[in-house]
Amino acid sequence: MPAEEAPPGLLRYGPHPAQTVEYQDACSGPARGLAVLVHGGYWRARHTASLMVPLARDLVAHGWAAANIEYRSNGNGGGWPGTFEDTEAAIDAIRRSDWGRRQAGPVVGIGHSVGGQLVLLNAARLDAAVALAPVTDIERTYQERLGEDAAAEFFGAGPDRRPDDYAAASPIRRLPLDIPALIVHGATDARVPLRHSEAYVSQARRAGDHPDFHCLNELDHLAAIDPSAPHWNDVRSWLDSTAAQSILS
């Protein structure tokens, strides 16, 4: 049985109350790596880092250190590019912190929905990335009115008025990643359609990346962050394999 987990610590990376990171050591022994978690919620303030706590606890129990990022959202001091800049600052603060420097292994970003968007946009700060049902094409998100017009709400305008911002915010427009990546998406996802990840993976491969893609018949949007769902063991196996390869390289 794994050792009992220690309570999380708190790292502040800015003056706003939302600019925080909860972090935990692996339950026993040196960490396999450091997992940086970024939650989704279509950039809305009512959705918080609490969404990722079950995954953080699971990772800690299985030998990973975990850092769960909170950031300013729409309606809570965020917007573009501030929300993205928060995740940049948070990852930098984690890596600079005494706690972060003590961790062994790679730094792997794990993001869900728009958290997947933010993780993929931060590829230069990470050693690997896992994107769970990610938002990858913001113009398409706007055009398809996903998340009850979440993109229009977040940007305050459409891509016709803010084309550069929509492009900068879209992982599909920021390829190649040049790091190992795993994309996980379910065919039953109604919040972010599977075809978005299919298009992203296809474009990434054309750009020279080699992302792994787990396309699942039965996985809805929120089940992607359920550590008791069948896909999660495969995600953890991918993480462990990536950590092992980083030690050998």
Per residue in 157-170, pLDDT (tens digit) is 999 999 999 999 99
Mean pLDDT confidence for 15-42? 96
Strand partners, 11: 21
Q: Please tell me the distance from the alpha carbon of residue 246 to that of residue 127, in angstroms, as a whole number.
A: 9
Q: Is 86 helix (H, G, I), strand (E, B) or coil?
A: helix
pLDDT at 2: 45
What are the domain boundaries of the chain?
A: 9-248
pLDDT at 191: 97
Mean pLDDT confidence for 19-25? 98
Kindly state the tokens that stand for 56: 């953080």
Q: Tell me the residue type at 200.
A: Y
CB neighbours of 247 closer than 8 A, spacing ≥ 6?
105
Closest CA to 193 of 113, 99, 122: 113
pLDDT in tens, 71-123: 999 989 999 999 999 999 999 999 999 999 999 999 999 999 999 999 999 99
pLDDT above 70: percentage of residues in the chain: 96
Closest CA to 27 of 55, 56, 53, 65: 65
The pLDDT of residue 249 is above 60: no
pLDDT above 90: percentage of residues in the chain: 92
Closest CA to 60 of 104, 131, 6: 6
Mean pLDDT confidence for 153-159? 97
The pLDDT of residue 248 is above 70: no
pLDDT in tens, 191-233: 999 999 999 999 999 999 999 999 999 899 999 999 999 999 9
CATH number of 9-248: 3.40.50.1820
pLDDT at 1: 38
Q: State the average pLDDT for the chain.
A: 95
